[in-house]
Structure 1
Amino acid sequence: MATNKPTVVPVDHFDPAEDCRRLHKAMAGMGTNEKALIEVLAKRSAAQRQILIKKYEEEYKKPLIKTLQKELRGDFEKLVLACMDLPAVMEAKKAQKATKGMGTNEAALVDVVCTKNNTEIEKLKAAYQLVFERSLIEDVRRDTSGDFQKVLLTILRCERSDSDKVDEEEAEVEAKALFKAGEGKRGTDENVFTEILCKRNFCQLREIFKQYEKVAGHDFEKAVKSETSGDLQKAYSTIVSVAKGVHEYYADKMEASMKGMGTKEDALIRYIVLRLEVDMVNIKEKYHQKFNKTLEQAITKETSGDFRAMLLELIS
């Protein structure tokens, strides 16, 4: 397993007062010095930016977030504001938006919930409770149903094993159980799929998928597509993709956000901000390997102005 390498790390010799002075100077008077904002904000960790939010208000008696909103516009503003949240808070906001009001954005819930390990899920739930003073589990329970609900709730309850151990014998047994519950019978026993996909650690799942190919003669993703549909299929497919390779999963997501006519800026912002302090170097390597171009080249082609400049600074 490759070691995760971030592109943004806490800066040494962090001086919040000096950073706030530079931010204030960049936004004082007519116009804004976007380059100076990027120079500070793109090179600080999310935790350090939280310190800047508090320090700025202490020093200048006005909230930094509102000042940034007043000074900035468009995709650059969206990117800067996304960076000013802790990643778990950004994800909590996406989850809340997916369950708020009439109808549920199931695809967004899959994207937030089914991609995370237990540690990330605990941070997500805590951020959701802190920001909205509600339980994410209860909101998901209220807004979903059936087998799809069962998948989300099993993950949100952190029932996935925390171990990274791989048991080959057990993997062979569970690969056969998956085949028997799906392609080996009429109809599908979704309970077996959910039990295995939502409770086994990702390393064990990779071994199960390897054993499944021996049993079925093709990969497990084909079984998911033939045996399930709709939101449940999306949930299972996402878990399979993340288990097979989280770096490739996010490389694919970033490519999809820039492919075709127009760029899906909100998606691109979210994926990049989410992975900056986790494994952005690994994702860039996988992206280059898979798409025969660098992520920097794709961003340079698909974005412009200060938005482009800050994205490039964040991933450099």
Structure 2
Amino acid sequence: MSYPGYPPAGYPPFPGYPPTGQESSFPPPGQYPYPSGFPPMGGGAYPPAPSSGYPGPGGYPAPGSYPGAPQPGGAPAYPGVPPGPGFGAPPGGAGFPGYPQPPAQAYGGPAQVPLPGGYPGGQMPSQYPGGQAPYPSQPAMMTQGTQGTIRPAANFDAMRDAEILRKAMKGFGTDEQAIVDVVSSRSNDQRQKIKAAFKTMYGKDLIKDLKSELSGNMEELILALFMPLTYYDAWSLRNAMKGAGTQERVLIEILCTRTNQEIREIVRCYQSEFGRDLEKDIRSDTSGHFERLLVSMCQGNRDENQTVNHQLAQDDAQRLYQAGEGKLGTDESCFNMVLATRSFPQLKATMEAYHRMANRDLLSSIGREFSGNVENGLKAILQCALNRSAFFAERLYCSMKGAGTDDSTLVRIVVTRSEIDLVQIKQVFNQMYQKTLSTMIAGDTSGDYRKLLLAIVGQ
């Protein structure tokens, strides 16, 4: 079985690609009728919670201080990861059939699950469309569940950590190494407790003190680490749409990859923290089929039943073919309906059925039928259905390849995945690009910023 144009020029072949087709759960052909900078971190409650206990300018509450908030650990209920309703499914991206795929349980189960992030500048990586890096075959370790590189510290003492940070910032100069040691080895929930203890002990806001002592990328990374995860997503969306221009890749990466629960929490947080309606902001900053796709996404109503309906997958594949490749012109609403409503495991099955029926992968068909931001949004959804860890590995690579570094993307992905699946992202990154994530970070960053990133990622 061959795939015209894959892998793209300049990329080496990978084991298991192109796929043999034996991994598919579909019957062989013939058994179906195939037709051939951070804003002010305002003191408002988040979401509304009059008794949040975190008043004062610059404050935002710790996870757990409002209904539905991220709980300690901040991770979804996948195998090998502590449960926690506040943060979602492993994002993964891919391009083609045969792509590495985490087990279906990784996308939900009883605890509804789904991703974070964004891209400054509003431009997709140069690989889009039609030039995605090829992805390796499924590594054996991917079947063992997902895990982050940061776990809650044992024998945690918020007051002791607050004192360490106070001493690191007191007097002449700043002890950045002490800050790195504390921040990189505490979970997000523990950082919220440190922040609260700091204000209780010293009557000062830890975030303001850190901002006064740090600058540049190091400041951005530290402040991101101290943001509650849902707030960080809401802040990223607001930052992507305020002022002139829109960072469409931020909107795509967040809204096209989260679980229903996460999206609803983000919508509530966006309203309570920034006093704005997310859907209205999307409508005013985007247009056309891209606007409709994002509005569909921010409803948080995707089917999250993890059971795959193979007949529905076959029907959807037929429907998508007839709405695109099988007709003159494109029925965009059909693609929107299928990709906005089906569960991620169901979409993966639809992609398999489409490939058998049309003898080409659905991502390539979308590349021929769509362009611009709506193409990138539709592809992001399918890539997450295939493999979230590879989705992030590719974006990390794109943030550092070539001249310059897209530090905002690098910070966002490292921070948001650090307690979810950064271990798997590192493994897939190494397999895809034949170099470790740590090596690439070390070559593209410097100083305390590099030290903290490497401490989070792990050597």
TM-score by length of 1: 0.96
SS at match of 1:159: coil
Q: Is the aligned partner of 1:63 residue 2:205?
A: yes
Q: Aligned letter for 1:222?
A: S
Q: Is the aligned partner of 1:224 residue 2:374?
A: no
Q: Partners in 1 of 2:183 and 2:322 — Cα distance?
A: 53
TM-score by length of 2: 0.67
**Cross-structure match for 2:422:** 280
| Aligned mate of 2:393, from 233, 237, 251 | 251
RMSD of aligned Cα (Å): 1.3
1:237-316 to 2 correspondences below 5 Å? 237-316=379-458
C-alpha displacement at 1:7, in angstroms? 1.1
Q: Partners in 1 of 2:339 and 2:277 — Cα distance?
A: 24
C-alpha displacement at 1:236, in angstroms? 0.6
**Cross-structure match for 1:38:** 180
Q: Is the aligned partner of 1:202 residue 2:350?
A: no
Q: Partners in 1 of 2:418 and 2:256 — Cα distance?
A: 19
CA contact (8 A) 1:87 1:273 kept: no
**Cross-structure match for 1:29:** 171
- CA displacement 1:62-92 (0-9 Å, x = unmatched): 1101110111122111111111112221221
Q: Is the aligned partner of 1:74 residue 2:188?
A: no
Q: Partners in 1 of 2:154 and 2:267 — Cα distance?
A: 30
- CA displacement 1:138-194 (0-9 Å, x = unmatched): 221333232212211111111211111111111011101100000000111111101
C-alpha displacement at 1:117, in angstroms? 2.2
| Aligned mate of 1:85, from 224, 227, 242 | 227
C-alpha displacement at 1:279, in angstroms? 0.7
- Which runs of no fewer than 5 residues in structure 2 stay unpaired? 1-102, 104-142
Q: Partners in 1 of 2:422 and 2:272 — Cα distance?
A: 27
C-alpha displacement at 1:133, in angstroms? 2.1
- Which runs of no fewer than 5 residues in structure 1 stay unpaired? none
**Cross-structure match for 2:317:** 175
**Cross-structure match for 1:165:** 307
**Cross-structure match for 2:53:** none
CA separation of 1:291/1:46 partners in 2, compared to 1, >3 Å: closer, same or farther?
A: same
Deviates more, 1:161-170 or 1:143-152: 143-152
Q: Partners in 2 of 1:278 and 1:127 — Cα distance?
A: 21
Q: Partners in 2 of 1:294 and 1:270 — Cα distance?
A: 19
Q: Partners in 2 of 1:172 and 1:149 — Cα distance?
A: 28
Q: Partners in 2 of 1:290 and 1:46 — Cα distance?
A: 29
Q: Partners in 2 of 1:88 and 1:200 — Cα distance?
A: 24
CA contact (8 A) 1:26 1:32 kept: yes
**Cross-structure match for 2:153:** 11
SS at match of 1:213: helix
SS at match of 1:185: coil
SS at match of 2:148: coil
Q: Aligned letter for 2:153?
A: V
Q: Identity of aligned pairs, percent?
A: 36
Q: Partners in 1 of 2:399 and 2:197 — Cα distance?
A: 35
SS at match of 2:151: coil
Q: Partners in 2 of 1:198 and 1:258 — Cα distance?
A: 31
Deviates more, 1:144-153 or 1:102-111: 102-111
Q: Aligned letter for 1:30?
A: F
**Cross-structure match for 2:275:** 133
Deviates more, 1:132-141 or 1:256-265: 132-141
